[in-house]
Chain A
Amino acid sequence: MSSLVEISCVVNGTPTRLAVPPQTSALALLRDHLGLSGTKYGCGEGECGACTILVDGVSVNSCLMFAVDFDGRTITTIEGLAVDRASDPLRQAFVDKGGVQCGFCTPGMVVQSRHVLDKHPHAGPEEVKRGLEGNLCRCTGYKKIVEAVVTAAAAQSAAE
């Protein structure tokens, strides 16, 4: 089979050296090799957002990215956001506002919301809706997710 490619990257704050097969997707690397199963497979085609991660602070569908392209990058997954204190108001808002039902879309939603709030710290409902356009949720009807993110934006601004 194909030879492995050596890469080094920072995953959730930890410098990591890895040898990965060139065809492996970033999603498979995270889930199957690094045990970071919080990042979900929903479609594998960049259409649902369940696999959203942050690469150098920008949200990416990890199912569309090759693992080798992690080389030299800083990767944050939902597990990484969970240790990052700044994201707590966001996760808490998802809980408090009812933005979670089956929860399968939730990690991707939270990571994408983090990205939206990083770009627009004072985001209102319309900005949030546009920012979450690429993330599908079959359960909630989005309303409570949008409320959660807007609430987190307000909480964040108040804390500044």
Chain B
Amino acid sequence: MNAPQHASLIGQRIPKMDAPEKVAGKTRYIQDLNLPGQLYGLILRTERVHARIVSIDTSAAKALPGVRAVLTAADVPIHPIGVNKDNPPLKGDKVRCERDEVAAVAADSLEIAQAALKLITVEYEDLPPLFDPRDSIKPGAPVIHEAKPDNVAMAFDYAHGDVEQGEADSDVVVEDEFTLHRVTHCCMGVSGVIADFEPVSGNLTLYSNTQVPFLHKREFAEVLGMDPSRIRIIQPPIGGGFGSKLDIYPFEPIAVYLARATRRPVKLIFTREEEFIASPTRQPAIIRLRSGAKRDGTLTFRTVDVLLDNGGYTSWGATIPFVMMQTFSSLYRVPHCRYHTKAVYTNNPFAGSFRGYGNLQATFAIEQQMDKLADALGMDAYQFRLKNAQEAGEITGQGMHFKTCGFKDCLETAAGRSGFAEKRKALGAAKGLTGIRRGVGMASMLHVGGGAKIYPSDGCGTILKLDDFGHVTIMTGASEIGQGSETVLAQLVCEELGVPMSAVTVVNNDTDITPWDVGVHASRTTFIAGNSAIGAARKAKDKILAAASTVSNMRAEELDLKGGNIVRAADGEKVMPLAKMLRQLHFSDKAELVMTTNYYEPPSVHQDKGFKGDVSAAYAWATQVVEVEVDTDTGIVRLLKVWAAHDVGRVLNEMGIEGQIEGGIIMGQGYALCEDMPVVDGHLVNPAFRDYKLITAPEIPEMDIQFIETMDGEGPQGAKGVGEAPSICMAAAVANAIENATGVRITSLPFTPERVYSALKGKLQ
């Protein structure tokens, strides 16, 4: 009899484990959960953007029947949250932006809570506002936070080499200013939280959409003055993350304050309008970039000066310089680089982390200048990039060590499949300002692909348990936010233990059960949680095979796990069913259960004070080429096709990774072409999907997606992280394509018809 063939799961198209429940409408998101006795929480936000709070009168609201609590800053401990600890959940002395929370209500119904908000009156005394970050750093500017009299929330300086030398070495130098706009995550599931104190123990359970449950737990403990071990965070399935749920925001402690005041569970869910107004955005930026090259096409230097509009408070948006800096210093080989960034307070909304984390902004600037430099040198734009591209083995000026690097393969693949060089030449020769014009554009990116050592640990824990029937439960610290990590982790464990996907359950949403993980960010989950899960599975396998070797009189090395059985490694011949072996272990004299734990810490290092160090265990690369059509009479830009080549290390789940890349490309398309949050006098103009345009199904381009498999030595089965990568190149590539089509280079986003039309008519200032 032939031994059965057991195909590897790696690289297969595996449907998401949670999909059947989701398509049946059975998945319960935070909006769908209700606790017995629950109250409804709402927040009163300021009408002013920079003002002193003179008084708040809540008496009428408190008197409304059905209102259980009305809180202001006077009722709660002052404990500011956020990256700079500058954001008190309820504002007592002054308000600094449109989002500011001045009071909160808990009531028996949403209707009563809404009525109560209308009964609260607040008296303000306006202060001079700041809306342009360039004004914030002028001498004598109004001060937004007394603790930061210069209005500078954060500043970053980085350098390698000697840019003066670089300038001297240059045959051509280009300099531009790039202006990046504000967009937001638009998770289809709006933000929300349920806070529940157990009446007897006083323990707090938070039903939360956070992407970082363990960091959150610690921060909540600080804010609430509680012992962290008395806080349990349960994450219901999340209706989209993209970085938005990486920080603690005022509504979360507010819900807890309300629950504490009323001794009842409090559910607080945003409306879509509130989601637009009060959730984080991508970080707007003004980038001044100067780059040079020698006549032979070698890059010589870069100097970068970035001004970030930090808004009224400091969340993760202020820290995007970490990531921008990597792109400026290390996407290409550049011997001399100097980089300065300031994030300055204004009375605008503030930014958080958003898929790509500053890299869309940096790449927009760099990749446009790569085209400009190539044109100035009379070189082919593709060849010029190829000449300066990083390679495996390189250690960059910033200390990043590219153990694997598929950059050149990405460039060649995307250029080859799109016919980039020929098209760019032909379309460029036909460029013009009348009628309908076509163009192609290219951009590439470098992003962390093996976690990022920002916190004291960048690790993830796994607990693995096998039951008497060969069913595996994986308890992982890593959160599922729709990206498919649950399925990939199950796949990796199945691959080790030779069991089918149907034999696995993943538990990933309860801090009382799951081991520590730093959170879903930096495209790290497949890499870090994947390695952690593989380690736990290997320990289980060793234990099982050691036991099997005793009963089968074969050496453990001669055995393997396949198809739910213990098999002979050499030919796959069945020795005994896995479940039988597990039961023997359990019910024999040994009385053992197969349960293992593993904690994986990647071999990356913290950056030093000068931001140097090999911060990630692996780096992801990509090149994207786009073809666009520009209607010069209307300014409408249509995206026709995208060719994307991504160094993903190795494809683990082909369908899952395609889904990540397609979704990221379309998110990048929205960033480039239509999404925008104009803020006028500190107020968001368009807090609704009617006016905030997301890409819809008929607008998507054709997509040609290619994977470059560099088989990273440290990656799980060779894979690297890819979650953020696909959205990064798009805006830069589209900008280059518009230039190729029309001869006009536009350095500010988004490329809406109005902006493109004005630029083509030479009217853009």
Contact = CB atoms under 8 A, between A and B. Distances in A.
Contacts of B655: 97-98, 144
B19 A103 contact: yes
Given A42-B272, A45-B688, A136 B188 contact: yes
B520 to A, nearest CB: 12
Contacts of B703: 141, 143
Nearest to A45: B688
Nearest to A80: B25
B658 A101 contact: no
Contact of B15 (A43, A96, A133): A96
A38 B24 contact: yes
Nearest to A111: B25
B189 A79 contact: no
Contacts of A101: 16, 482-484, 659, 663
B31 A139 contact: no
B242 to A, nearest CB: 7
B121 to A, nearest CB: 24
A102 B697 contact: no
B contact residues, range: 35 or more
A130 B699 CA distance: 9
A124 to B, nearest CB: 13
Interface in B229-244: 237-242
Given A43-B272, A138-B240, A103 B22 contact: yes
B649 interface: no
A82 B25 contact: yes
Contact of B688 (A47, A137, A138, A145): A47
Contacts of A134: 696
A44 B187 CA distance: 15
B23 A100 contact: yes
Nearest to A77: B25
A115 interface: no
A141 B696 contact: no
A133 B697 contact: yes
A103 B18 contact: yes
Contacts of A142: 662, 666, 695-697, 700
Interface in A72-104: 77-79, 82, 91, 94-98, 100-104
A136 B484 CA distance: 20
A11 interface: no
Contact of B237 (A31, A45, A98, A103): A103
Nearest to B655: A98
Interface string B656-676: 101100111111000000000
A128 B20 CA distance: 22
Interface in A29-69: 31, 36-45, 47-48, 50
A91 B23 CA distance: 6
Nearest to A47: B689
Interface in B398-431: none
Contact of A102 (B15, B240, B690): B240
Interface string B3-29: 000000000010110111011111111
A117 interface: no
Interface in B506-531: none
Contact of B665 (A42, A43, A141, A146): A141
B689 A40 contact: no
Most buried by A among B16, B27, B695: B27
B481 interface: yes
A39 B25 contact: yes
Given A38-B24, A48-B188, A133 B696 contact: yes
B216 interface: no
Interface size class of A (residues with CB under 8 A): 35 or more
A111 B190 CA distance: 21
A40 B189 contact: yes
A68 B240 CA distance: 32
A92 B453 CA distance: 40
A136 B694 contact: yes
Given A98-B16, A100-B22, A141-B663, A136 B689 contact: yes
A37 B25 CA distance: 7
B186 interface: yes
A78 B26 CA distance: 9
A140 B271 CA distance: 23
B208 to A, nearest CB: 16
Contacts of A151: none
B650 interface: no
A129 B694 contact: no
Given A40-B31, A133-B698, A142-B700, A104 B239 contact: yes
B646 interface: no
Contacts of B189: 40, 42, 102, 104
B185 interface: yes
Interface in A124-160: 126, 128-130, 132-146
Contacts of B589: none
A106 B482 CA distance: 12
B146 interface: no
Contact of B656 (A77, A98, A107, A126): A98
Nearest to B481: A102
A144 B688 contact: no
Contact of A43 (B32, B481, B667, B689): B689
Interface of A: 31, 36-45, 47-48, 50, 77-79, 82, 91, 94-98, 100-107, 110, 126, 128-130, 132-146
23 contacts: A43-B272, A45-B272, A48-B188, A48-B272, A77-B25, A82-B25, A98-B15, A100-B16, A101-B484, A102-B187, A103-B27, A104-B29, A104-B189, A105-B188, A107-B23, A110-B25, A133-B697, A138-B185, A141-B663, A142-B697, A143-B700, A144-B658, A145-B697
Given A78-B25, A95-B23, A102-B189, 7 more contacts: A50-B188, A79-B25, A101-B482, A102-B241, A102-B481, A104-B240, A136-B186
User: What 6 A-B pairs come out closest when comparing CB atoms?
Assistant: A38-B25, A102-B482, A103-B22, A78-B25, A104-B239, A141-B666
Interface of B: 13, 15-16, 18-20, 22-29, 31-32, 185-190, 237-242, 271-272, 481-484, 655-656, 658-659, 662-667, 688-690, 694-698, 700, 703
